[in-house]
Amino acid sequence: MPRRRTILVTLAASAAALLAGCASPTPQTTATPPAASSPTTTPSPTPTREPVGSVAPPACEELLDPPALQKLADSGYSLLTDWTGEPGGPFQHLKPFADRGGVVCIWGNPEYPEQPYAYAWSSLDAASAQSFAADFAAQGLTRTGTASGIVFAGESNTHADSPYGYLLRDGDWFFDLDLPDLEPFVARFDALQAVGG
């Protein structure tokens, strides 16, 4: 995790949280990256690649390299298992990943509950990708084409140096609470799938 400043350097957490109640080291409210909801008919935002089909999601621990896992452990972070994605709750915007049979990974420290770290993956059909892309654009997220796919980045109200990001591509999508970790996360996911496939 290249920019886990807050988690790893200060015994605090990672990037800015996205919802009210998930904020910076001070008890402030941050912007929530709202989940897309309304279907649209915009062109597909994803580059051409083979769809992932029915890929089994890796375990959360597999999606981080051993040094990153060790740093989380050393900073008192553990994988949270009680997240449900209920409306109004923390990280409700990740529920579409869980609903699609993907993986949602949220790490927390009981001493710093306002400073979690999260990432997610799931498969995604073309129509949903179009809808999410349109909604992200309407929300003001910045769109960038990369070698991995189309990235939509949103700035936190309290941590302008730590935006969050979604990456959409043909067949699946990703989320990372710390934008610089997004493409390394995608690369590790693909490497795990290549080994498993």
* Burial grade of 188 (CB within 10 A; 0-12, 13-18, 19 or more): middle
Place 51 in a pLDDT band, splitting at 50, 70 and 90: very low
- Rounded distance between C-alpha atoms, residue 183 and residue 165, angstroms: 10
The per-residue pLDDT for 56 is 74
The Cβ-side half-sphere exposure at 46, using a 13 Å CA radius, reads 24
Place 145 in a pLDDT band, splitting at 50, 70 and 90: very high
Query: Which stretch of DSSP H or E encloses residue 189?
Result: helix 182-196
Q: What is the mean pLDDT of the chain?
A: 75
Place 156 in a pLDDT band, splitting at 50, 70 and 90: low
* Mean pLDDT to the nearest integer, 38-48: 37
Topology given in CATH for the domain delimited by 5-18+51-196: Protein Transport Mog1p; Chain A (3.40.1000)
pLDDT value at 197 more than 70: no
Largest interatomic CA distance in the chain: 47
Which range has the worst mean pLDDT, 11-25, 50-64, 183-197? 11-25
Model pLDDT for residues 85-97, shown as the tens digit of each residue: 777 777 888 999 9
Q: Where do we find the tokens 């790490």?
A: 107
What proportion of the chain, given as a percentage, has pLDDT over 70? 68
Cβ pair 157, 92 in contact under 8 A = no
The per-residue pLDDT for 157 is 55
pLDDT value at 144 more than 90: yes
Place 2 in a pLDDT band, splitting at 50, 70 and 90: very low
pLDDT value at 176 more than 80: yes
Q: Is 168 helix (H, G, I), strand (E, B) or coil?
A: strand
Higher pLDDT, 24 or 126: 126
Amino acid code (one letter) for 142? T
Q: Which residues pair with 175 in a beta bridge?
A: 120, 166
Reported pTM: 0.72
Place 79 in a pLDDT band, splitting at 50, 70 and 90: very high
pLDDT value at 190 more than 80: yes
* Domain boundaries defined on the chain: 5-18+51-196
pLDDT value at 168 more than 60: yes
